[in-house]
Amino acid sequence: MGSELVRFGVAMERSLLDDFDSLVEARKVTRSELIRDLARAEVARTQVARGVPAVASLTLVYDHHVRDLTERLNQIQHELGDRVRSTLHIHLDAHYCMEVIVMRGRSDELQRIAERLLATRGVKQGGIEIVTEMTAGHDHPHPHEEPHSDEPRSKRPRARA
């Protein structure tokens, strides 16, 4: 992260602290780590409303037998152009499909796009997860110096200088 850690005191009711400590124990983290996670989440939530660079995953579950629904969803995605980065389409059963749409753009615009798609007749349920782009200047195409991997960083091959 590169930022200096600063210590500060927090006062809260004993019952709230007990509940908080239960979360700390369940997540197997420290109080400080959980407070940082909660602070980051709240900062990100506030930024989403302001319209900052973000990525989002929108999940839709819909009845593909609804007349012209698949075509309407495809048309909307085509209208969005390069804001749609990827899609995943899954046949759940004889009637329902799930579509996951990964998008990039201003967070407030991504929220409006999601609301439009979720309100489309035939869409039964869904939701959006918007993640603000926390690293300024990280808007670049691949490749990275290190490949994306499920392996722990310590086991990945190091990039050579």
Residue 1: band (very low, low, confident or very high) from pLDDT cuts 50, 70, 90:
low
Domain boundary assignment for the chain:
14-49, 52-132
pTM of the model: 0.67
pLDDT band at 142 (very low <50, low <70, confident <90, very high): very low
Tokens of 74: 């495809």
Domain 52-132 CATH class label: alpha beta
Burial of residue 59 (CB within 10 Å: 0-12, 13-18, 19+) is: middle
Instruction: Check pLDDT > 50 for residue 158.
Output: no
Q: DSSP assignment, residue 84?
A: E
pLDDT in tens, 26-82: 999 999 999 999 998 888 888 888 889 999 999 999 999 999 999 999 999 999 999
DSSP 145: S
Burial zone of 134 (CB within 10 Å; 0-12 exposed, 13-18 middle, 19+ buried)? middle
